[in-house]
Amino acid sequence: MDRPNILFIMADDHTSQTWGCYNSRLAPCISTPNIDRIAAEGALLNNCFCTNSICVPSRATILTGQYSHENGVRTLADSLDPDQDIVAKHLQAAGYQTAVFGKWHLGKEPSGFHYYNVLHGQGRYLNPVLWEKGQDWDGEGTRYEGHSTDIITDHTLNWLKQQDTSDRPFFCMCHFKATHEPFYSHERYRSLYEDVDFPEPEDLLADEAPQNKVFQGWPLEIQQQRRLEKPDNYPPPKLDVEGLDAEEARRATYQDMMKDYMRTVAGIDDNIGRLLAYLEESGLGENTVVIYTSDQGYFLGEHNLFDKRFMLEESLRMPFVIRYPREIPAGTVVDDIVTNVDFAELFLDYAGKEVPGFMSGQSFRENLRGRTPEHWPEAMYYHYWPPRQPERPSHYGIRTHQYKLIYYYGLVRDDNRAPEDCWELYDLDRDPLELRNRYRDPEYADVIPDLRAKLSDLRARYGDTEL
């Protein structure tokens, strides 16, 4: 059988709560037909997670198949060295035509790609500037008129249409800037969801620093302040909280944010539809692996938070759908634990290429066929390294199918807290929304030592001893 083409589509901060196929509280009032189509015609992963929930490190992990401490890309300030070994270089060696479009966000010039046309850093939503392979990476780039989601798709399609796949399959990465804040949609979506009242998270009205959590995070009041102080950074209409009390203002901010967010989602979904239509029209659909995912999740008012970074579910989970008609049965649901460390190994598996020794994950191709390999991991490891910031402290942790144990060591370092006051434990079976920290609950006294031992084992196995 021919090796498949691989079309890897990724958004920024597109959290699973806003994908219809994940059946969240928002599912009854949102529309993502093309994303849902990939899930219906292929597989949906319920337990796919990032290992460091921030843009630059997550993207580096996907390309290297390594944890952040292994590839050296720990924070937003780090960059991926062009000489570093990445999966695209191995796919090139296997005869694949490789390209990347849209958000790169890894600092230095892309390598391992026959062609690229990418944003520097975050880029902008409207009239974006892209740098094409062959241009001076330190030069001015080229400005394109329009919305970034449409333009990134245009360039992806133009490249795909030029490829001869008769003897050389393609590996194409299409990376949208959306849904990153400030959630600036194309004008054609501005009336979408206008009359929708989005369901609120159960703990939207929690205190800014809920008593059962040891960290503060970024409450919606910060999002509210941004919108009021710099309204032109956000799409119209402007947020109006005049005359509202604190609770009413928080609720109004949530609704305003949700409308903006979901309008950028609509642009993504429509453009995914364009990509799927091309594959069908060109006869490439059957032999192309199509993946849609996000570099991490995002808080949309849960725990009265926005942004990401934390190991709580909304931030940790990477929504992931994949279609490959020749191999993946339609409607497959995978509950096995998978992380972004495993993505590169999956790509190489499809390419028939041996996984190099520097990679730390494993291919989940058999899991997608419904055949979970023996000794598949029952837990995943996470580590977030930010600048010194007590509101969003450094932490690491372990997630199993039932439990999550997190140690916020940054609070010891930056806030002078006692180590035993910096742990959180969640029972995901009884408390999937993570509303109650059980670390000091006597009922879990026997669970904690076992989880701490497993966490120490994972840190030792992956050689992560640095704090």
- pLDDT, tens digit (0-9, with 9 covering 90-100), for 187-233: 999 999 999 999 999 999 987 555 589 998 999 999 999 999 999 99
Strand partners, 423: 407
CA distance linking residue 452 with residue 393, whole number of Å: 19
384-440 pLDDT, tens digit per residue, is 997 788 899 999 999 999 999 999 999 999 889 999 999 999 999 999 999 999 999
Mean pLDDT in residue range 28-46 = 98
CA distance linking residue 268 with residue 102, whole number of Å: 13
pLDDT at 211: 58
pLDDT at 389: 86
Q: Which amino acid appears at position 272 of this protein?
A: I
74-90 pLDDT, tens digit per residue, is 999 999 999 999 999 99
The predicted model scores a pTM of: 0.97
The DSSP secondary-structure symbol of 458 reads H
What angle is formed at CA 391 by the lines to CA 387 and CA 392, rounded to 5 degrees? 50
pLDDT at 208: 56
Q: What is the mean pLDDT of the chain?
A: 96
How is the chain split into domains, by residue range?
5-185+256-372, 380-461
* Radius of gyration for the alpha carbons in the chain, expressed in angstroms and rounded: 22
For residue 97, pLDDT over 70 is answered with yes
For the domain covering 5-185+256-372, report its CATH number: 3.40.720.10
370-385 pLDDT, tens digit per residue, is 999 999 999 999 999 9
- The residue with greater pLDDT, 97 or 216, is 97
Q: Which residues contact 250 (CB under 8 A, 6 or more apart)?
A: 204, 205, 220, 221, 224, 304
CA distance linking residue 263 with residue 267, whole number of Å: 7
pLDDT band at 299 (very low <50, low <70, confident <90, very high): very high
* Half-sphere exposure (Cβ direction) of 283: Cα atoms closer than 13 Å: 3
Q: How large a percentage of the chain has pLDDT more than 90?
A: 95
246-274 pLDDT, tens digit per residue, is 999 999 999 999 999 999 999 999 999 99
For residue 346, pLDDT over 90 is answered with yes
CA distance linking residue 440 with residue 463, whole number of Å: 29
Q: Which residues contact 416 (CB under 8 A, 6 or more apart)?
A: none
The pair phi, psi for residue 200, each rounded to 5°, is -85, 150
pLDDT at 323: 98
3-state secondary structure of 249: helix
pLDDT at 465: 84
For the domain covering 380-461, report its CATH number: 3.30.1120.10
For residue 20, pLDDT over 80 is answered with yes
